[in-house]
Structure 1
Amino acid sequence: MSNVVIGLTGGIGSGKTTVANLFAELGITIVDADIIAREVVAPGTIGLKQIQQQFGNGILTADGELNRPQLRELIFEQPTAREWLNGLLHPLIRTEMLKQCKAAPSPYALMVVPLLFENKLESLVDATLVVDVPPATQLSRTTSRDGVSEQQVQNIINSQISREQRLARADRVIENQGDIAQLRQQVALLHHGYLELVATKPKL
């Protein structure tokens, strides 16, 4: 049962997944907000049922799954629909993240939340860890990884808080501009520090 939760965040293309995987190699449980966001709208869930009731059967694919491209288009065109969706999904995602963190068998849990600061979720974690890279690296990595234009990536960067704001709110920062060996070394040092935090935090 983990009593300590570390919130991992960073801008698009910063390498959050790579960092999370290195913590996983050390036996740490990873709770990923993006994965949970898909789980809470899987077929048979209350989340998908409510979306279907709100937007009609057309929001489903032929095999009963959520039609994500259609939903994205809908909430892009209708801000009120986006507000309704966020009001439904955010509490479901938050509840499931906390449940998984509490059940984690590792000494602490790593909660990976791309929009940790934007969605004001710092209160859910004991410490924040930001993966940082320069904006030019974000652009080149994301365009090659996702096959999208630089303008699309720039729009996403612009929709997130600035690099300066993110760094100012971080308890710890991990620089992801070197090779995997350097990254692994930084993770090992952080891991040691988090184990000390676990040892000093009173048990609930």
Structure 2
Amino acid sequence: MTKIIGLTGGIGSGKTTVAKMIEQLGYAVYNSDTRAKNLVNESSALKQEIIQLLGEKAYDKNGLYDRRYVAEQVFSNKTLLQQLNAIIHPAVNQDFHQWVERENFDLVFKETALLFELKLNLQCYKSILVTADESIRIKRVMDRDHKTYREVEKIISNQMPERRKIKLADYIIENNTHLEHLQSQTEKTIRVIEKELSY
């Protein structure tokens, strides 16, 4: 039976960078965020549900999901955000399990921002949290996405507090310094997991 390792981290933590490092070590990584972006355009059933919730403007004139519009609607309305998650995440979860069957590996990694919020860690053998100081995360997102300090702060306030995630995670990778340090921590964590699974 395939063992699933959950990989998570708040916005700006560097979880996607860690996911790429894990792929370079030869493991299959499922990126929930990327698949969600694809599924909202590929699935007509999802599209109908999202339009029912948020209106026709949730999709642009070309029929593509309007991420900017949707973000404006949900990030100031937690109820609406929860309703949107309740539409998208079951579809992503189903897609993930189909992917696991196709990949047919002994060990796979599931990268998802909402691992603990959606209790997806309960489906995993172990979980890895990529973490960084909030001030560092905010600066990274401001530089990367050209958002204001307040905009990033608002996104972080909608995510589970870091201290709660730290208590729930099996492994912690800190990403406060340089890439070489992140790489060595990632490799060390994977070696520990491999060792556990070899018993």
Alpha-carbon offset, residue 78 of structure 1? 6.7
Contact 1:107 1:195 in 2 (8 A): no
Q: Distance in 1 between matches of 2:82 and 2:190?
A: 37
Q: Distance in 2 between matches of 1:183 and 1:77?
A: 33
Alpha-carbon offset, residue 58 of structure 1? 4.4
Residue 27 (structure 2) pairs with residue 6 (structure 1): no
Q: Which deviations, in whole Å up to 9, do the C-alpha atoms of 1:120-174 show, x marking residues without a partner?
A: 2111211110111111111111111111111111112222222211111110101
Report the TM-score, using the length of structure 1 for normalisation. Answer: 0.85
Alpha-carbon offset, residue 86 of structure 1? 2.7
Q: Which residue of 2 aligns with 1:137?
A: 136
The amino acid across from 2:98 in the alignment is: K
Contact 1:101 1:111 in 2 (8 A): no
Q: Which residue of 1 aligns with 2:84?
A: 85
Q: Which residue of 2 aligns with 1:125?
A: 124
Q: Which residue of 2 aligns with 1:41?
A: 40
- The gaps in structure 1 that reach 5 residues or longer are none
Q: Distance in 2 between matches of 1:99 and 1:197?
A: 26
Report the TM-score, using the length of structure 2 for normalisation. Answer: 0.87
Q: Could you say what secondary structure the match of 1:6 adopts?
A: strand
Pick the structure with greater CA Rg. Answer: 1
Q: Which residue of 1 aligns with 2:169?
A: 170
Q: Distance in 2 between matches of 1:54 and 1:140?
A: 33
Give the share of equivalent positions with the same residue, in percent: 27
Q: Name the CA shift for 1:71/1:159 in 2 (closer, same or farther; >3 Å).
A: closer
The amino acid across from 1:193 in the alignment is: V
Contact 1:30 1:110 in 2 (8 A): yes
- The gaps in structure 2 that reach 5 residues or longer are none
Alpha-carbon offset, residue 179 of structure 1? 2.1
Contact 1:139 1:150 in 2 (8 A): yes
Q: Which residue of 1 aligns with 2:70?
A: 71
The count of corresponding residues between Structure 1 and Structure 2 is 199
